[in-house]
Amino acid sequence: MEALVLERKDELSLRDFPQIDRDEAVLGPRDVRIKLHTVGICGSDVHYYTHGRIGPFVVNAPMILGHEASGTVIETGSEVTTLKPGDRVCMEPGIPDPNSRATRLGLYNIDPAVRFWATPPVHGILRPTCVHPEAFTFKLPDNVSFAEAAMVEPLAVGVHAATKARIRPGDIGVVLGAGPIGLVTALSALAAGCARVYVTDLAEKKLEIAASLSPAIIPVHAARESITDRVKAETGGWGADVVFEATGAPKAAAGVFEPLAPGGCVVMIGGQPDPISYDAGAAMVREARVENIFRYAHVFPRCVSMLASGAIDVKPLITRTFDFKDSVRAFEIAASAPPADVKMQIELPQ
């Protein structure tokens, strides 16, 4: 089975990976076998490629990349009842221990035993087929494309963040960072009820894409304008009801409370490879609520439904698509962080 393998930091190869054939030879009674169609390139995939680790997760052996995926069911286990061969699906990439305390509490995304695609030592799915539990595989409506379905995984982060923020109709939001996660968070915040969302970044092209998504998304170039001054000027000096930190940058995190209104909420989304700090005093005087999210839980069906209904449109975020045979080149380009690209995807041969 040919796969895109991260051999070690800064080294990728497209090669046969016999271990996967052995590991997934037997289909469990509640599993489905899926032929992969589209896989998104995530920032975490790129970070493993360029740094060899994310926090405590270290690439110590060759690992297949990829976790944002869609495909077609080609085989089902004997006890599968909701899916059949030919069904188009997307897959939630984290499989928790069903008996863990976290899972029993409904917090399966923070189960310490969760097995998440392309997180060492678990292999990802930039390969022709995979085996996955029925419970974490979701059938697609006819009007949701494979490309859109491969965006459900990052969209789930934004929806989870908006849910944790407890947005109320008419709230004013701020999203720091116009990368893929920042933009799906902005869309999710609008879908949850925000009247308008300010999005900051340093990349002009990404801000142009942000502005094109909705007239309620207001781009702010972080190097040219203070997001705090802009929001305060347009809210009568009050500030934003919710601020989403989606950059992972220490500088952004340090000032995350500045545009926030009293009684507002900050949601920390951006991946933090190193420890960060923020002004606890600024949080205290605002009596701010701070939420931290780790991936998502219980939101994949909601995301699929919103794509199907048109409540959220992720198509403008897909800026480049590569053939599977060009996967190494795709990652090299993604690692260069092209300012005009948001989400790059890889299509596998059918």
pLDDT in tens, 174-188: 999 999 999 999 999
> 187-222, pLDDT tens digit by residue?
999 999 999 999 999 999 999 999 999 999 999 999
Measure CA of the first residue to CA of the last residue in the chain; give whole Å.
14
pLDDT band, residue 24 (cuts 50/70/90) = confident
**Is pLDDT above 90 for 253?**
no
Q: In 3D, which of 108, 81, 89 has the Cα closest to residue 34?
A: 89
* Confidence band, pLDDT 50/70/90 cuts, at residue 272: low
Give the per-residue pLDDT at 241. Answer: 98
pLDDT in tens, 290-312: 999 999 999 999 999 999 999 99
pLDDT level of residue 21 (50, 70, 90 thresholds): confident
Q: What pairs with residue 11 in β-bridges?
A: 8
User: In this structure, which long-range contacts are made by residues 16-22, counting pairs with CB atoms below 8 Å and at least 24 apart in sequence?
Assistant: 17/62, 17/64, 17/123, 17/127, 19/123, 20/64, 20/123, 20/127
Q: At 173, is the secondary structure helix, strand, or coil? A: strand
- Taking only the tens place, the pLDDT of each residue in 105-116 is 999 999 999 999
Query: Contact at 8 Å (CB) between 343 and 317?
Result: yes
The pTM assigned to this predicted structure is 0.95
Report the relative pairing of strands 260-268 and 240-245 from DSSP bridges: parallel
pLDDT score of 273: 65
223-237 burial: b if 16+ Cβ within 10 Å, else e = eeeebbebbbeeeee
Mean pLDDT of 68-85: 98
Question: What one-letter code names the amino acid at 10?
Answer: D
177: left (phi over 0), alpha (psi -120 to 50) or beta: left
Mean pLDDT on 36-61: 94
Give the Cα separation of 6 and 336 in Å (integer).
Answer: 17
Map out the domains of the chain with their CATH numbers.
2-151+314-347 (3.90.180.10), 157-292 (3.40.50.720)
Residue 22 confidence (pLDDT) above 90: no
Cα–Cα dist 194/272, whole Å: 26
